[in-house]
């Protein structure tokens, strides 16, 4: 189903890309490829100095490749580019494309649903048959929602079942991880399925007392802390590796190095058995209402019966705003796969869904060089060029589709402090992998002349070997990323001086 923005903006597809390059009905106000200016220039009117882009790049000392493109959204004129047609890993900038993809396929008002299905009739408070917790791909389902569903089941008069308690997660394909090149323990790389809970993360906490540790694994929220057995932890007498993981068949088995724990601490670990996770937590809540369900059993086919309780997510536009603000990978993947399922009728894998979104981006957004392996950008094999993405952002600007979903990019003063009064206001999506940094969005200076821009930085030599590392953060990556962000701000400030005065 096409909504109004897609009809106006995207049905023109690649043809719109050609119009943008020609600046539409108006001749370009600046050269499409401006001549190199002096390294530091100052106009006769005494405008601020604009540093040369190469000087800024040299000062950043990032190595690798840098690509960017900046476009006047009013005319469509390409103002400045560098390596603009080279394919770069877009990292989480991919989520901006995912947002547009989902809005077209699903609409801004789409809501995910999670249901409790009675496979048999309800007679005097007894379900004559199975009770099924059916997932609908909701990326935001949390412990509070399951607690509310258990309370609603009780309020509906249910006090027992004659069959089994089952979980169905087949609305979307199961993926053990988003990207196989990540360390086992990082919470931003969980499993995916049609039934998910708490972004498929479990809370691991340890406290040392009397020379030993007390360990808890729970599905905590702001209201509840239900302990779980679907994810288990043991402490081993070693200094490294920090964590090990083993698939226990129906649970996740973790070990942690005693030498790395200290006195106390906590972290979120990924869940690899999401349907079992949700089923265990719901069963616990049902038990508090006197409904004995027992251990959840997986169901392979979609349940048939009566929906006794339905939980609806927030509208998709709200979910996407949160996805872009917090850059949540699971949300992006589930939203993207749901969009692909709506387009194809069914989607078989994350890789297939990534290919479908890539084809859509090439044909609809004009991103002719897009090759995306997922919807979050976590997979480093994705590639896209800066100029084609900047053109798409420029076309989308006037429709106010993406801009309202983006968050402000923090501009800083010369001392690195947040500058809330900076004259350039930036709405953008950031993207970060180890030794990869991306930024794409809109910059508007004091003259209120908005620019669409994309900046990609990637040092592939420094990424070598990371795929086999168990470290959360390789040495030097944090400092490198900080320098990349400084370069991004400096380029934006340069463009404001050059093109919006």
Q: What is the CATH number of the domain that holds 186?
A: 3.50.80.20
Instruction: Tell me, yes or no, whether 129 lies in a domain.
Output: yes
The confidence score (pLDDT) of residue 472 equals 72
Give dist(CA 336, CA 372) in Å, integer: 12
The pLDDT of residue 401 is 87
Banded pLDDT at 106 (limits 50, 70, 90): very high
- pLDDT band, residue 467 (cuts 50/70/90): low
Let me know if residue 477 belongs to a domain: yes
For the chain, give the mean pLDDT: 90
Mean pLDDT of 87-100: 98
Total structural domains in the chain?
2
For residue 442, count other CB atoms closer than 10 A to its CB. 21
Q: Quick check: 469 pLDDT over 70?
A: no
Sign of CA dihedral 419, 493, 94, 481: negative
Q: Which residues pair with 413 in a beta bridge?
A: none
CA distance 186 to 374: 18
If DSSP codes are grouped into helix, strand and coil, which group holds residue 172? coil
Tokens of 441: 């969005």
pLDDT (mean) for 79-104: 97
Per-residue pLDDT, averaged over 207-227, amounts to 95
Q: Are 116 and 136 a contacting pair, CB within 8 Å?
A: no
Q: Which pLDDT band, with edges at 50, 70 and 90, does 474 fall under?
A: confident
pTM, entire model: 0.90
Which ranges in 219-349 belong to alpha helices (H)? 274-288, 316-326, 329-344
| Same-domain pairing of 429 and 306 | no
Which residue is it, tokens 């044909």? 363
Q: Does residue 440 have a pLDDT over 70?
A: yes
Given 297, 313, 329, which residue is the final one in a domain? 313
Least-confidence region, from 36-45, 89-98, 441-450: 36-45
Q: What is the mean pLDDT of residues 65-89?
A: 96
Spell out a b/e string for 176-214, using b for 16 or more CB atoms within 10 Å of the CB, else e: ebbbebbbbbbbbbbbbbbbbbbbbbbbbbbeeeeeebe
Helices 350-360 and 94-106, axial angle in degrees (round to 10): 80
334 domain residue, yes or no: no
Residue 486 within any structural domain of the chain:
yes
Enter the DSSP assignment of 81: E
Domain check: are 127 and 88 in the same one?
A: no
Helix (H) or strand (E) holding 147: helix 143-155
**pLDDT per residue over 367-417, tens digit each?**
999 999 999 999 999 999 999 999 999 999 988 889 999 999 889 988 888
Domain region containing 84: 19-92+369-499
d(CA 323, CA 312): 18
Q: Which residues are paired to 309 by β-bridges?
A: 116
66: CATH:
3.40.710.10
């Amino acid at each position: 189903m096409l909504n109004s923005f897609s009809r106006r903006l995207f049905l023109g597809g690649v043809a719109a890309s050609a119009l943008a390059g020609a600046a539409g009905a108006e001749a370009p106000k600046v050269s499409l490829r401006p001549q190199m200016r002096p390294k530091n220039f100052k106009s006769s009117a005494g405008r601020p100095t604009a540093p040369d882009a190469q000087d800024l790049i040299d000062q950043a000392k990032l190595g690798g490749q840098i690509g960017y493109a900046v476009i006047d959204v009013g005319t469509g004129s390409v103002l400045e580019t560098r390596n603009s047609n080279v394919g770069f890993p877009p990292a989480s900038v991919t989520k901006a494309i995912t947002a547009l993809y989902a809005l077209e396929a699903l609409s801004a008002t789409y809501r995910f649903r999670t249901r409790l299905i009675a496979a048999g009739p309800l007679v005097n408070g007894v379900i004559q048959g199975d009770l099924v917790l059916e997932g609908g791909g909701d990326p935001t389902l949390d412990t509070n929602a399951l607690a509310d569903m258990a309370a609603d089941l009780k309020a509906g008069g249910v006090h027992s079942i004659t069959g089994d308690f089952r979980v169905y997660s087949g609305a979307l394909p199961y993926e053990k991880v988003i990207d196989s090149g990540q360390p086992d323990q990082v919470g931003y790389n969980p499993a995916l399925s049609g039934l998910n809970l708490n972004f498929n993360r479990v809370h691991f906490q340890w406290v040392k007392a009397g020379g030993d540790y007390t360990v808890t694994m729970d599905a905590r929220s702001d209201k509840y802390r239900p302990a779980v057995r679907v994810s288990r932890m043991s402490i081993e007498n070693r200094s490294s590796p920090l964590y090990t993981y083993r698939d226990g068949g129906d649970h996740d088995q973790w070990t942690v190095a005693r030498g790395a724990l200290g006195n106390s601490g906590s972290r979120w670990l990924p869940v690899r058995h999401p349907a079992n996770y949700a089923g265990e937590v719901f069963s616990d809540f049902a038990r508090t209402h006197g409904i004995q369900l027992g251990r959840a059993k997986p169901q392979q086919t979609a349940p048939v019966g009566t929906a006794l309780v339905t939980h609806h997510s927030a509208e998709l536009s709200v979910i996407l705003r949160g996805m872009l603000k917090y850059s949540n990978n699971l949300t992006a993947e589930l939203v993207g796969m749901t969009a692909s399922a709506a387009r194809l009728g069914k989607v078989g894998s994350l890789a297939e869904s990534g290919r479908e979104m890539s084809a859509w981006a090439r044909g609809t957004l004009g991103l002719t060089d897009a090759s995306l392996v997922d919807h979050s950008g976590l997979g480093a094999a994705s590639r896209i060029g800066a100029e084609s993405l900047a053109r798409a952002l420029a076309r989308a600007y006037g429709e106010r589709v993406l801009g309202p979903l983006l968050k402000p990019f923090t501009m800083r003063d010369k001392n690195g402090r947040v500058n809330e009064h900076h004259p350039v206001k930036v709405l953008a999506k950031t993207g970060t992998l180890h030794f990869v940094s991306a930024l794409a969005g809109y910059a508007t200076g004091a003259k209120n002349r908005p620019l669409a821009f994309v900046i990609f930085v990637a040092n592939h030599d420094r990424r070598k070997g990371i795929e086999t590392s168990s470290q959360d953060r390789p040495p030097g990556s944090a400092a490198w990323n900080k320098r990349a962000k400084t370069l991004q701000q400096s380029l934006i400030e340069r463009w404001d001086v050059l093109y919006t005065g």
